[in-house]
Amino acid sequence: MFSLVMLWILVLLGGYLLGALPFGFIVAKFFCGVDPMESGSGNVGATNVARLCGAGWGLAVLLLDVLKGFVPVLITASVTDSWVMVSLMALACICGHIFSVFLKFHGGKGVATAIGVFMALAFWPLLCAAALCVIAIVLSSFISVGSLLLFASLPIFLLICWKAQFLPLALIVMLLIYWRHKDNIKRLIQGEEKAWRSSSNRETSEKKS
C-alpha cells in the first residue's frame, strides 16, 4: 500500500514538472530574443507570446501548453478508473503551468493546459464551452472574456453531458482561472483591457516600422 502511494506521488510530481515546463518563456526567449515576463503583459502564455513574437510562435506555444495537459491526463485515464486520481493529475499539470518551479513559481494563466486536460477527459463538453469562447472573442475582441466564459460554462456542459464526476475538478479549475485573470477582470470593468484585434494590429505596425 505504501509503495503504491509513493508511486502515485511520483507520478503526480512528474505531471507537475511536465506542466511546469515554460514553453512560452523558452520560445520567446530563445527563438525571438524577448523575455515575455518583462515585455507585453508580462505573462508567459500563448497570447502574450503571439503579441510579442507573432501569431505563428503564439500558436506553437498554445499547442505545446495544450499537450502538456492532454498527454499526462490521457495516459493516467488509460491506466486507472479512479476519477479522483485522474483529477489530481489534471490539477498537478495545471498548477505546474501556473506555479512553475522553473520560473520561481510564476507562470501562465492555465487556460491552454486546462483545455488540454478537458480535451482528454470531456471532449464534447469542452467543445461546447469552446464554441461559446470563440463567439465571445469575436463579439468582444477580448481573449480574456472568451477564456472566462469557457470555464464558467464548462461545469454546466459537464452536467448536461453526464460527466458530473469531473465537476469538482472543473469548479476548482474555474476558480484558479478566474484568480489568474483578476487583473484582466479589473481592466475589463474599468474599460482598460487590451482588445486582441487592436493590440495585434498595433504590434504588426510597430514591427513593420
pLDDT digits (tens, 9 = 90+) for 105-163: 998 899 999 999 999 999 999 999 999 999 999 998 888 899 999 999 999 999 999 99
Cα angle value 62/129/189 (rounded, 5°): 80
Say how far apart CA 191 and CA 193 lie, in whole Å.
Answer: 6
At 36-66, the pLDDT tens digits run 888 877 888 888 898 888 889 989 999 999 9
The ranges assigned to domains in the chain are 13-208
Q: Model pTM?
A: 0.88
